[in-house]
Structure 1
Amino acid sequence: MSEKDPSVSDEEWAAFVEAAKKDGVGVGGGGGTGRGSRSAPAREPEGWRSGPAWQEETGRGRRKRQVKGVLGFAAAAAVLLVALRPQLVTDHLPEALGGPGETTPLAAESARPTAAPSEEAFAEDPTLREPFRGSPALRWSDGAAGIETPQATAVGWMSKNEVGAALKSAKDFLVAANLDPTVVNGGRPTAALALLDPHQPDVLPAMEKGLTKATEKNDPTLLFSRFSPAEAKLVGSVVKVRGRMTLENGKGAYANYVLIHTDYTFVYPVVKVRPGADEVARTVARRQITFALPDPDVYRATKGKLSVSRMNSSVGNDACDGPKDGFFHPIFAEDRTASPGTDPSGPATDPYDRSKDLADLPQECGRLTRS
């Protein structure tokens, strides 16, 4: 289906899916397995000299964990779709099955979406060759290409060139923290740490402590995407990314700050570290991070370094009862089979839904609608 000339719009398809659900016909993904998710409420680190204090905006530092339940796919759905409107099926089929497929890359995200990506008629399981099959991320950008910076302009105390350098540093941090293969596969995020301001009194020390011995308070996965090298590894070299970055001059408590707001979702296909392992699971991490650039003439700050004024994260398919060791712990179908009846019963969440602020989502362990 072409974005410029779609035979069926996303809105029309979503409306049809919803109508089908009300009629009791399954149009959701098949082959679901147990999935866990966790998220952390927004936190604001301490300020510099007289800057804003660290605040727990939504309670204790908890991270939502959710588990994906099995979504049934009824054979009658395909019959109903064809009978009512054949193009609704053919336009959403992969090319190998006779339709044009949903493979055209999406345009960059310029504003917060108003709804979650529409569900696919045939949500297939991922494979080693096609790790993003059956996922909305199939049409997302690959890696760093998905992190686009806004046009640099003079803001507050910073010149256009200084803003341009700060935007580049923000992107470099997100790449180093979430896309560097060494980091994703369990290594130390050295390049990302080097971009943080050592004068900020809590973030860098907390991350350093967490990388040595992780705790719920000092948890490196609040900022860094890491899988235990003894447990899971990335399939291939591509991580799918979607999101946006905005810029503003701080006001009120953040006067004399330039703020860079980032909101990105990263999709990681992983496989168990075991000879012959071929089951692919996907972990979906969304991060909302605001970087602050305080005026060094007003605050004790290192010019050219980033401070973190707010961070919030949600991770889909990360075990609810996993150890607090600074790594993601994805759940595979075989794990769920080995331990039946352990799925969380909390609220259901779509990890691909970017229409809501993370602070507005439930914080307890829940269920994923898809991964």
Structure 2
Amino acid sequence: MKARQRDTAPAVPETDWAGTVARAATEDVREMLRAERRRRRGRWFAGGLVVLAVGAVVALLLRTSVFEPVAGDQAQGRDATRAGVDRDAPFDAARPFAGTPAESWADGAAGLVLPEARAVGEFDADEVAATTQLVRSVLVASRLDRKLLVDHDPTGYLGFLAPDAKRQLEPLFADGREPEVQALVSLVAPGSTPLPVEAKVSGTMSTRQGKAGELVVHTNYVFAYAFEPPPNLRLAEAMNTVVVVRADVDYIWRVGDKWTVSSRGLWFDAASGFGYSIDCDAYRKGFLAPVTTGHSVTRRPGEAEPGSYFDPRSPLPPAGGCRH
């Protein structure tokens, strides 16, 4: 049996009436379009266990004036500092995370700490330990290894998956289909250059029994990537060159005669998350690039302050969007 999909007005003169109606209708249409775009920018979902992974739609939560050719105003600076971002921190290519909440995080794979090995349902402690170690290797390959991150070569990542899962994902790494797999991996946009420092990582991993023959490993991590700034650009704050990705992804280890041989092994399942301080145009194409390469964006009143986007324990925010 192959792996199955998880079931988952005041009155106006008559002469002005036509113009008033036209203006109102135009605003109504614009609001409808904006509402539709907001609905479309829901959380990531990467489901398909027998079908190809569903194209991920990301909630892109960015704020106004994330970079400027000159320093921003003092009120914005005070807000950013309260949220854990120091606008006055000088840029240092050797310490690009200085002045951000990610500054004290572990470097790279050191931030992927395994949970204590213990028996879970039908899986003994040794089997659980082996599975969480496998998932840790998958996270390194999908989020940190420059072979995939920069070179866009998915061979290492796909090699950890069950043959059927690999077959489903492999076509999504080419021909403009990268947005369909971005819930599971990080890909640097062509033309953007990561700094030669490891990404910062914070989060947790946990396990639970799934259906018969399934061990579910839930991963909840935030990855912060540092990029080279454009030449001759005066940076307004520490976040100008940092891209933040939150990824909550379930991986499932499947064993037993319930599954065909080619479906036994590691599968991807439900995924959600968001990107912050990121170039919208690149992200819509499935790639990561800093805001210094894109357009300015706005942050709606009431949206969470930047510091919360660095906290893997915080609730996933409502759908937001890139706004020119």
After TM superposition, the score normalised by the length of structure 1 is 0.62
1:208 match: 170
Match of 1:365 among 314, 321, 324: 321
1:100 match: none
- Determine if the alignment matches structure 1 residue 319 to structure 2 residue 279: yes
Match of 1:242 among 190, 194, 202: 202
1:322 counterpart SS class:
helix
Shift of 1:131: 0.3
Structure 1 CA distance for aligned equivalents of residues 192 and 173 of structure 2: 18
Q: How does 1:103-142 map to 2 (within 5 A)?
A: 119=84, 124-142=89-107
Distance 1:121 1:184, change over 3 A: closer
Structure 2 unaligned residues grouped into runs of 5+: 1-40, 66-71
Match of 2:110 among 129, 137, 145: 145
1:107 match: none
1:67 match: 62
Query: For the Cα contact (< 8 Å) 1:219–1:324, is it kept in 2?
Result: no
- Determine if the alignment matches structure 1 residue 220 to structure 2 residue 220: no
Structure 2 CA distance for aligned equivalents of residues 122 and 322 of structure 1: 25
2:213 match: 256
Structure 2 CA distance for aligned equivalents of residues 205 and 303 of structure 1: 10
Shift of 1:234: 1.2
Q: Which amino acid aligns with 1:365?
A: G
- Determine if the alignment matches structure 1 residue 354 to structure 2 residue 319: no
1:308 counterpart SS class:
strand
Shift of 1:39: 6.8
Match of 2:48 among 42, 45, 51: 45
Shift of 1:120: 5.5
Query: For the Cα contact (< 8 Å) 1:235–1:269, is it kept in 2?
Result: yes
Superposed CA offset, 1:137-190 (max 9, x none): 001111101001112223233232222211111000001111112222233122
2:16 match: none
User: Percentage identity across aligned positions?
Assistant: 23
Distance 1:156 1:128, change over 3 A: same
- Determine if the alignment matches structure 1 residue 169 to structure 2 residue 134: yes
Distance 1:145 1:245, change over 3 A: same
Structure 1 CA distance for aligned equivalents of residues 260 and 113 of structure 2: 30
Distance 1:307 1:255, change over 3 A: same
Structure 1 CA distance for aligned equivalents of residues 201 and 93 of structure 2: 19
- Determine if the alignment matches structure 1 residue 269 to structure 2 residue 226: yes
Query: For the Cα contact (< 8 Å) 1:39–1:65, is it kept in 2?
Result: no
1:41 counterpart SS class:
coil
Distance 1:316 1:205, change over 3 A: farther
Match of 1:296 among 244, 247, 256: 256
Query: For the Cα contact (< 8 Å) 2:106–2:201, is it kept in 1?
Result: yes
Structure 2 CA distance for aligned equivalents of residues 240 and 45 of structure 1: 30
Moved more, 294-303 or 153-162: 294-303
Query: For the Cα contact (< 8 Å) 1:42–1:310, is it kept in 2?
Result: yes
Q: Which amino acid aligns with 1:153?
A: R
Query: For the Cα contact (< 8 Å) 2:255–2:265, is it kept in 1?
Result: no
Superposed CA offset, 1:219-264 (max 9, x none): 2322111112x411111221100000001112xxx34311111001
Q: Which amino acid aligns with 1:354?
A: P
Structure 1 unaligned residues grouped into runs of 5+: 1-37, 48-52, 78-91, 93-116, 337-341
Structure 1 CA distance for aligned equivalents of residues 180 and 76 of structure 2: 44
Q: Which amino acid aligns with 2:199?
A: V
Q: Which amino acid aligns with 2:113?
A: E
Q: How many residues are matched?
A: 267
Distance 1:145 1:171, change over 3 A: same
Structure 2 CA distance for aligned equivalents of residues 134 and 325 of structure 1: 29
1:224 counterpart SS class:
coil
Query: For the Cα contact (< 8 Å) 2:59–2:275, is it kept in 1?
Result: yes
Query: For the Cα contact (< 8 Å) 1:122–1:134, is it kept in 2?
Result: yes
Match of 2:291 among 327, 331, 339: 331
Query: For the Cα contact (< 8 Å) 2:225–2:243, is it kept in 1?
Result: yes
Shift of 1:326: 3.5
Distance 1:292 1:236, change over 3 A: same
Shift of 1:294: 2.3
2:242 match: 282
Query: For the Cα contact (< 8 Å) 2:141–2:156, is it kept in 1?
Result: yes
